[in-house]
Amino acid sequence: MAFDRKYLSIIVNNAKSGNVPSMWLFYNSASDTVTAAGFFTDKRLNVGDQILVLVAAFTSMVFYRVSAVSATGAATVLAGATGTFTPGGLQALSGSGAANVTSEITLMASGAGAMAVTLANGVAGQRKVLKFKTDGGGDATVTPSNFKDGSTLTFGTVNQAAELVFIDSKWQLVSNVGSVTIA
């Protein structure tokens, strides 16, 4: 089946503030090969845009990056990562450990002492929400393997939360609720 523009929707566009690239969602209803030359033909696409492709079975999303666009709007896309990420999912983490990259949200509950949490690299365009749900008497310090905005995030008060997005091989802070300490 050929590309159908009705299945391509913009989900993030901050062009008004001068920040590009944009993020798109494409429902691949026919399980087409989206990396075929010129499959995406839409003059709204720009180099650097991210396209999240939802597979026909609604079971996962694969991330792609627009690497070139012709004058006619034919885009060339490259896989944004070697893996896939299934949106949603909730991880409850009690005590030190790893915040997984397979769940969209990690709720952290500290014990009597400090809590050390690691966060591995995600896939391009992936979002991760970290929330301090229960304070048992110690802070939760999260150390992402690659963090653009510092080296750690420290949660010390219940309901503090941070949303990160994985872009350019680094986690980047997009939201900080309750003044999570970034160091």
40-79 burial code (b ≥16 CB/10 A, e <16): bebeebeeebbbbbbeeeeeebbbbbbeebeeeebbbbeb
Nearest to 163 by CA among 105, 121, 118, 122: 105
Give the predicted TM-score (pTM) of the model. 0.58
What are the Cα distances from residue 115, in Å, to 37, 106, 109, 141, 160?
Answer: 48, 14, 8, 6, 15
Quick count: other Cβ atoms within 10 Å of Cβ 173? 17
Pairing of the two strands 97-99 and 61-69 = unpaired
Beta-sheet pairing, 105-109 with 90-94? parallel
Beta partners for residue 181, in sequence order: 154
Residues 165 and 124: their CA atoms lie apart, in Å, by 8
- Taking the C-alpha atoms of residue 31 and residue 109, their distance in angstroms, rounded to an integer, is 41
The one-letter amino acid code at 50 reads: Q
User: Could you give the 3-state DSSP secondary structure of residue 1?
Assistant: coil
Q: What is the pLDDT of residue 82?
A: 42
Kindly list the domain boundaries of the chain, sorted by start residue. 5-79, 90-182
Full pLDDT tens readout for the chain, 183 residues:
567 777 888 876 655 545 567 888 888 888 888 888 888 988 888 887 888 888 776 666 777 888 888 888 888 888 765 445 556 678 899 989 999 988 888 999 988 889 999 999 988 778 899 999 988 888 999 999 999 999 999 999 999 999 998 888 899 998 899 899 999
Tell me the C-alpha distance between 133 and 15, whole Å. 35
Q: What is the CATH number of domain 90-182?
A: 2.60.120
